[in-house]
Structure 1
Amino acid sequence: MSRKLKNNIVIVCEGTETEYHYLKELKSIVEERQPERFSDIRIIPTPEELNVCVKRNQVTQKRSLKGSSKAGRYYTQEEELLEDYERYKQQPTRYVREAQLYLADGSYAEAWAVYDFDNFPDHANARALADEDEHLHIAFSSVSFEEWLLLHFELNRTAFQKSVCKEAKKDIRCGTGKHANDCKGSTCVGGRLRAQNFLPDYDKCGDNLFTTLESRLEHARIGSAWTRTLHPAADIWLQNPYTDFDRLVNHLLGYPIDYKWVACGEIISTVLTQVSVDNGNLFNVGGCLFVLDVTVYDKQFNNIESNIIRILPGEFCHFDKGDYISFSQNGESVVIVPLHS
């Protein structure tokens, strides 16, 4: 079937907890503020769809024990061939595959799969499948979606082990001091959010997370780009911390420019010249005048000041305060550079 020209998007999540609630809220905000942006934003699975899926799979499993050759189903999509279901049923590939099926049947023009590391066995195949279609994307967080939430507040290098610590499959609410095994945010990201009083009442099924954190969204966008520079040689699913969830948020809200981290001393090309940053200095190492709007941040990425900087070739501008600066690179991205190594 040929793809219909639609301005719509389907987002397949691995469940109905934090990501689902966050995206459901964001969907409502996009529809309210930019009603013309998408003709439809569908987030899968709803709690009802998940419940139906669980019951259906239980029935299917019983049938398979009796030798049934009926093809398997995902949350809402079904494979025509049993061999295809066997090929794609592993997590997280099944989420990418379901998103792909919505593109294949022409229902949606764009599809995303949203999932975490979760010790899933099939990350490499999920990535390979997503690469087959330019309209199919992944929004991934490691170790969990809570990494994205934490980046609204700090750049934390801890390789957390889980989203929240649990006992008998129930969140023990680390960071509140109410459980003997409280990790105080050393093991789980949820504990860090609570222990540092960033989100003291954090709950995986809580509402209004986007609205609560919107004033700090720029921090999270900057921080997400930062996580992608920490272990660039490793496969994405083995990097921790890591998230590219910001790319989905940027797309839904229509932000045309992304953030990009550059190391101290690295040459940065702009429209007319080249610059580098080191030891608190912004050097013009190219052959033309450097004129850019530069923003200075402190360690917590609070905006200290913004100025139009003009630097002749071979000269530099010294920043006596701040820890990071940012400026636009050719109108395509915002470069973030530490002022000191």
Structure 2
Amino acid sequence: MRKRKINRSILIVCEGTKTEYDYFQYIGEKISIPRGVWDTVEVSTNVTIPKDIPIPAQTSLAKRKKKSFINPNKRKISDQNVLLKLCSYLYGEKEGFEKYENVKAVPLRFVALAQMLEEEQRIYEELWAVYDKDDHPFHKEASEKALELTNDKVVNIGFSSRSFEHWIILHFEKNKKEFLVTDCKDEKDEPLGCNKDIGCKGQTCLCGYIRTNTPLVNYSKSNSPKDFEDMMNVLMKPANLRKAISNAEWLREEIRNSEESNKPIYELNPFTDIDYLVKKLID
């Protein structure tokens, strides 16, 4: 009988600070660790990189780099400016400030963050970056960056298009509809709350489709703790989880048999391979 490795640790750097983060935290705490699949499931988000810290011009770097930065909320960042560090990690100290916009791009940033955390910690058996297609740039660069070895490890990518919500839909049905947006919004950039009675009625946005066509009638990108717990109880039912994995495999097979088969995954809509990561966490 093969002995299980001890102190197994997996790192998941994910785009969302709410839905995806809570989802993988839940699986880690409720399933992976209790079952002994992993000893540590570390989920990191873009909160790790303070987006609201101003980046100094290259000419002022020498004067300011040893000082703490103050963000607009007047909270002092005293330990380190992780975003500055990530700029230097990606491009070198000089060029990093000229390419700050590249670092802001979510896919490239998350892949690089997973690599940087592995270089510092050296404890992870697997590295994952989870993000969506949305309207993000630098998908190609992120995919290429993920193949670079960090302590003999690549960064595995858990990708969804248009967004993570397509993975949620697959828990209930086979679906290869191309959605235009994740959530319809008003002129103030607030979600419309589309459902069977209002908004696009699930024809245009993923969240509206979920509320209209699945049991998750209260689904939101910022679920309340109760709604989130109720949602996970539904999604983690063995029958629904098996269906999601099977339907994700079906969707990729549909793509392989279509005119889209030669496209890279970041040009596809719909697409998801989140099932690979979920299977890693539960089996």
Q: TM-score range by the shorter chain?
A: 0.7 to 0.9
Alignment partner for residue 212 of structure 1, among 222, 234, 241?
234
Q: How many residues align?
A: 239
Q: Show the counterpart of 1:284.
A: none
Q: Which has the larger radius of gyration?
A: 1
Q: Show the counterpart of 2:163.
A: 144
Instruction: Report if aligned partners of 1:45, 1:75 keep a CA contact under 8 Å in 2.
Output: no
1:174 aligns with 2:194: yes
**DSSP-derived class of the 1:170 partner:** coil
Instruction: Report if aligned partners of 2:194, 2:202 keep a CA contact under 8 Å in 1.
Output: yes
- Aligned-residue offset at 1:75: 10
**DSSP-derived class of the 2:156 partner:** strand
Question: What are the equivalent positions in structure 2 for 1:178-257 lying under 5 Å apart?
Answer: 178=198, 182-206=199-223, 207-208=228-229, 209-215=231-237, 216-229=240-253, 230=255, 231-254=260-283
Q: Which ranges of structure 1 fall in alignment gaps of 5 or more residues?
A: 255-341
Q: Show the counterpart of 2:128.
A: 112
Task: Provide the alpha-carbon RMSD of the alignment.
Answer: 2.7
Alignment partner for residue 110 of structure 2, among 56, 70, 95?
95
- Residues 164 and 21 of structure 1: CA distance in aligned 2, closer, same or farther (over 3 Å): same
- Aligned-residue offset at 1:197: 4.0
- Aligned-residue offset at 1:72: 6.9
Instruction: Report if aligned partners of 1:91, 1:120 keep a CA contact under 8 Å in 2.
Output: yes
Instruction: Report if aligned partners of 1:74, 1:94 keep a CA contact under 8 Å in 2.
Output: no
- Rounded to whole Å, the distance in 2 between the matches of 1:12 and 1:77 is 14
- Residues 199 and 249 of structure 1: CA distance in aligned 2, closer, same or farther (over 3 Å): same
- Rounded to whole Å, the distance in 2 between the matches of 1:74 and 1:247 is 29
- Rounded to whole Å, the distance in 2 between the matches of 1:183 and 1:240 is 19
Q: Show the counterpart of 1:260.
A: none
Q: More strand by proportion, 1 or 2? A: 1
- Residues 175 and 54 of structure 1: CA distance in aligned 2, closer, same or farther (over 3 Å): same
- Residues 123 and 137 of structure 1: CA distance in aligned 2, closer, same or farther (over 3 Å): same
Q: Which ranges of structure 2 fall in alignment gaps of 5 or more residues?
A: 1-5, 66-79
Instruction: Report if aligned partners of 1:73, 1:79 keep a CA contact under 8 Å in 2.
Output: no
1:54 aligns with 2:59: no
Q: Show the counterpart of 1:314.
A: none
Q: More helix by proportion, 1 or 2? A: 2
Question: What are the equivalent positions in structure 2 for 1:8-157 lying under 5 Å apart?
Answer: 8-34=9-35, 36-45=36-45, 49=47, 53-55=50-52, 57=53, 60-61=54-55, 63-64=56-57, 67-68=60-61, 70=65, 73-74=82-83, 79-80=88-89, 81-82=92-93, 83=95, 86=99, 89=103, 90-105=105-120, 106-133=122-149, 134-157=153-176
- Rounded to whole Å, the distance in 1 between the matches of 2:244 and 2:32 is 22
- Rounded to whole Å, the distance in 2 between the matches of 1:214 and 1:75 is 39
**DSSP-derived class of the 1:210 partner:** helix
- The one of the two structures with greater contact order (alpha-carbon pairs below 8 A, sep at least 6) is 2
Instruction: Report if aligned partners of 1:228, 1:242 keep a CA contact under 8 Å in 2.
Output: yes
- Aligned-residue offset at 1:232: 2.1
